[in-house]
Chains A and B, each alone.
Chain A
């Protein structure tokens, strides 16, 4: 096995041939933002957040799919890249209907984290407010297309790991959406094994477990009574 040496953000790095720039950076504690990348499934190079600059090239390279080469001198945090990363996240927020306050993934969302990472506190682009549906026909899970960023992680885990290929992309451009089965309600797709891998892969709150959404929150009102009794009467019974 041969080894390649390169430089990322001024740090000299040696890594085995065939590794990607992203792997090389990660191994050496250099963070590169990603959204469509997911360890364990193939890379598609679609979110364009992991673009890096290489000296001697006027093209930006996607770190997740570019293999390391001998003598590369790479920069991951130039003002240009940071500006583009921020714009990318702005475009994502403007494209869908991302309302953190009512989202199941609030506080545990990779898109939200990414906004903080790239320093995006508002979008300079007007929000598109698209009209997108929610599919809760599946027994255990639901998909809210409003929160989908089309990273296709669900498509890839379902196809490559579970082998069911329930998900795919329908339409094109701004009209793209994640389609289940042959454009059926998710609950009617026979191929779905209800394994839940797509839920775990989804970076946002688009695919979720039922019973965990803000709208479906079940309240335990008896608890309040219990607390009042406990406080007033010193009786810890329910």
Chain B
């Protein structure tokens, strides 16, 4: 495979595609709402209506509006390759929400001048209109199980560009210049990480993609892996070239069977085309990718634990330094990034770092995908530019709380905090969220309304951390148990003022003395609710057993 072949594949695919694409979401969320049946009915209807020569039903990845699946979108195929065709397209984009299998026939019928009862969605709604899609640009628009569709929209061109038009140093410099920061939660500058691994002495090095997404309510990585697996493979290959690694691992949790299946398929297809494996693009450079499946431990999202798990050991974190960049997988220098981080690599290499650095704020560049869930009208995945305020996300895009008002927004999952409604004007960026006691996290965003008890929320997350602690260090193993029990006392209204003090001091201790990020951040939901909703804790203190006697002040 060389560049001419790649372009041939792309052209052949573009010629093959029919003018109209009926995209039906086949990701996990919509599948659960019977989208596969919808798709079958759509295909049958195309046959029945005699539209096979100009209409094609495509099983695509996630379109984002997961709360109202299954989603079906009619899109002229020309707009996939050139947005300017949108104005001259045969039909306007038709978008249907909550499609029932029975309604599929009429959706196709509508293309022939009929009427459909299917619920029509509004793509101009802020939920869609306010998004800025970089990682998810082709999510929900191409078939994730066919590499040709990915190649047709420009796939693997960035890898070619990196391999033949750039030196590894230039690739690292490009990523550094883009200002990209780790999307797994910590926000460590990606370029710096790459440069560290690249500067280690030549020899065996590894690239790992962390797809062990475990935060309750977060499903960004799953959606990216299910919707555009080649984007991640290409990003990893570029990373391998940049840091001098020839072997990559994708660590995906076992709870994501569809993502694993699609990744396996994608790897096979890419190998067949000579885009992965040995002699990529007929060069002397090899890069292979293997999948490792997690076994159900939240802590394996922590990088040192993940490495142990890939090695086949018990997924326990170990103290850092040495950082994986110096000594990681089998003691070799290892680059480990999150799925979404790798998802940003291809667009950066393709469009240049200046383009990327133009999105977002001064210290947080680019976009971030959030899984917007909880007490909110529009549930789903959104990709927004950094710097957008929480209010815009929650109230405009999310449509606010149905019959009620926002009380708090929880970001960062069990490691993050609850942001009260009064701080909704905070811009979404790494530093601004840390300042108010929460964190960007991997992208979970749970909206809570007035009926939510914040102590219960803290209790829930502490129970999660208690169950997910690996048990290696004492503060996390025993501290989360005691914190959880203390919070239970509050919920039972048995807590005393002394318990409140104990809660605060133990939170501080677990935060400062734990071995890894799980323990260090486990008290965050408690600390942030203590900070902003202290009165709720006080209201749950037990009533005094005796009335406090009024002492007379002695003369």
Residues of A near any B CB (own CB < 8 A) = 44-48, 51, 60, 62, 65-67, 83-84, 87-88, 91-92, 94-95, 124-126, 128, 149-150, 168-169, 171-176
A228 to B319, CA, bound (A): 62
Are A174 and B466 touching (Cβ within 8 A)?
A: yes
B91 at the interface (CB under 8 A from A): no
Are B469 and A48 touching (Cβ within 8 A)?
A: no
Are A172 and B482 touching (Cβ within 8 A)?
A: no
B467 at the interface (CB under 8 A from A): yes
Instruction: Give 24 A-B contacts (CB < 8 Å), ordered by A residue.
Output: A44-B318, A45-B318, A45-B515, A46-B474, A47-B473, A47-B474, A48-B515, A62-B319, A62-B515, A66-B319, A83-B505, A84-B513, A87-B509, A94-B478, A95-B474, A95-B477, A95-B481, A125-B506, A128-B481, A172-B470, A173-B468, A173-B471, A173-B481, A175-B471
Which one of A87, A92, A125, A169 contacts B471 once the chains associate, using CB atoms below 8 Å? A169
Are B481 and A44 touching (Cβ within 8 A)?
A: no
A86 to B142, CA, bound (A): 58
A88 to B509, CA, bound (A): 9
Per-residue interface assignment for chain B, residues 291 to 306, with 1 indicating a CB less than 8 Å from any chain A CB and 0 otherwise: 0000001010000000
Q: B314 — which chain A residues lie within 8 A by C-beta?
A: 168-169
Residues of B near any A CB (own CB < 8 A) = 297, 299, 314, 316, 318-319, 321, 466-475, 477-482, 485, 502, 505-506, 509, 512-515
- Closest chain-A Cβ to B26's Cβ sits at a distance in Å of 35
Q: Which 8 A-B pairs have the closest CB atoms?
A: A176-B471, A45-B319, A91-B478, A173-B469, A95-B478, A48-B513, A65-B319, A173-B471
- Closest chain-A Cβ to B544's Cβ sits at a distance in Å of 21
Tally of contacts, chain A with chain B, CB under 8 A: 91
Are B470 and A92 touching (Cβ within 8 A)?
A: no
Q: A150 — which chain B residues lie within 8 A by C-beta?
A: 471, 477
Q: A173 — which chain B residues lie within 8 A by C-beta?
A: 466-471, 477, 480-481
- Closest chain-B Cβ to A87's Cβ sits at a distance in Å of 5
Q: B485 — which chain A residues lie within 8 A by C-beta?
A: 126
- Closest chain-B Cβ to A152's Cβ sits at a distance in Å of 8
Which one of B316, B470, B475 contacts A91 once the chains associate, using CB atoms below 8 Å? B475
Are A174 and B513 touching (Cβ within 8 A)?
A: no
- Closest chain-A Cβ to B71's Cβ sits at a distance in Å of 38
Are B471 and A171 touching (Cβ within 8 A)?
A: yes
A47 to B477, CA, bound (A): 10
Q: Which residue of B lies closest to A149 (CB)?
A: B474
Tell whether A174 pairs with B477 under 8 Å between CB atoms, given A44-B472, A45-B515, A48-B514. Answer: yes
Q: B512 — which chain A residues lie within 8 A by C-beta?
A: 60, 84
Tell whether A94 pairs with B482 under 8 Å between CB atoms, given A84-B512, A84-B513, A172-B470. Answer: yes
Q: Which residue of B lies closest to A93 (CB)?
A: B478
Are A84 and B480 touching (Cβ within 8 A)?
A: no
Q: A44 — which chain B residues lie within 8 A by C-beta?
A: 318-319, 472
A26 to B549, CA, bound (A): 55
Q: A45 — which chain B residues lie within 8 A by C-beta?
A: 318-319, 473, 515
Q: B473 — which chain A residues lie within 8 A by C-beta?
A: 45-48
Given contacts A48-B513, A88-B509, A125-B502, 15 further A-B contacts (CB under 8 A): A44-B319, A51-B513, A66-B319, A67-B321, A94-B478, A95-B481, A125-B482, A128-B481, A150-B471, A168-B314, A172-B297, A172-B471, A173-B466, A173-B469, A173-B477
Q: B478 — which chain A residues lie within 8 A by C-beta?
A: 91-92, 94-95, 174
A222 to B351, CA, bound (A): 93
Tell whether A48 pairs with B481 under 8 Å between CB atoms, given A168-B314, A172-B470, A174-B469. Answer: no
- Closest chain-B Cβ to A63's Cβ sits at a distance in Å of 11
- Closest chain-A Cβ to B470's Cβ sits at a distance in Å of 5
Q: B505 — which chain A residues lie within 8 A by C-beta?
A: 83, 87
A150 to B473, CA, bound (A): 9
Q: A172 — which chain B residues lie within 8 A by C-beta?
A: 297, 299, 468-471
Most chain B CB within a 10 A radius of its CB, from A51, A60, A125? A125
Q: A51 — which chain B residues lie within 8 A by C-beta?
A: 513
A222 to B470, CA, bound (A): 53
Tell whether A174 pairs with B481 under 8 Å between CB atoms, given A62-B319, A91-B474, A168-B314. Answer: yes
A157 to B480, CA, bound (A): 29
A95 to B475, CA, bound (A): 11
A44 to B492, CA, bound (A): 38
A83 to B482, CA, bound (A): 17
Q: A175 — which chain B residues lie within 8 A by C-beta?
A: 471
A51 to B506, CA, bound (A): 16
Q: A48 — which chain B residues lie within 8 A by C-beta?
A: 473-475, 513-515
Q: A126 — which chain B residues lie within 8 A by C-beta?
A: 482, 485
Q: Which residue of A lies closest to B506 (CB)?
A: A87
Q: B472 — which chain A residues lie within 8 A by C-beta?
A: 44, 46
Most chain B CB within a 10 A radius of its CB, from A46, A60, A92, A173? A173
Q: A60 — which chain B residues lie within 8 A by C-beta?
A: 512-513
Are B513 and A88 touching (Cβ within 8 A)?
A: yes
Q: Which residue of A lies closest to B520 (CB)?
A: A59
A171 to B469, CA, bound (A): 10
- Closest chain-A Cβ to B465's Cβ sits at a distance in Å of 9
Q: Which residue of B lies closest to A62 (CB)?
A: B319
- Closest chain-B Cβ to A121's Cβ sits at a distance in Å of 17
- Closest chain-B Cβ to A113's Cβ sits at a distance in Å of 17
- Closest chain-A Cβ to B36's Cβ sits at a distance in Å of 36
Q: A149 — which chain B residues lie within 8 A by C-beta?
A: 474
- Closest chain-B Cβ to A54's Cβ sits at a distance in Å of 13
A47 to B319, CA, bound (A): 12
Are B471 and A88 touching (Cβ within 8 A)?
A: no
Q: A174 — which chain B residues lie within 8 A by C-beta?
A: 466, 469, 471, 477-478, 481
Q: B470 — which chain A residues lie within 8 A by C-beta?
A: 172-173
Q: Which residue of B lies closest to A171 (CB)?
A: B471
Tell whether A84 pairs with B319 under 8 Å between CB atoms, given A94-B482, A125-B482. Answer: no
Q: Which residue of B lies closest to A51 (CB)?
A: B513
A51 to B319, CA, bound (A): 12
- Closest chain-A Cβ to B478's Cβ sits at a distance in Å of 4
- Closest chain-B Cβ to A229's Cβ sits at a distance in Å of 54
Tell whether A124 pairs with B319 under 8 Å between CB atoms, given A91-B482, A150-B477, A174-B471. Answer: no
- Closest chain-A Cβ to B486's Cβ sits at a distance in Å of 9
A126 to B318, CA, bound (A): 29
Q: A47 — which chain B residues lie within 8 A by C-beta?
A: 473-474
- Closest chain-B Cβ to A221's Cβ sits at a distance in Å of 44
Q: B502 — which chain A residues lie within 8 A by C-beta?
A: 124-125
A174 to B481, CA, bound (A): 7
- Closest chain-B Cβ to A126's Cβ sits at a distance in Å of 7
- Closest chain-B Cβ to A97's Cβ sits at a distance in Å of 13
Q: Which residue of A lies closest to B501 (CB)?
A: A124
Q: A169 — which chain B residues lie within 8 A by C-beta?
A: 314, 316, 471
- Closest chain-B Cβ to A86's Cβ sits at a distance in Å of 10
A91 to B314, CA, bound (A): 24
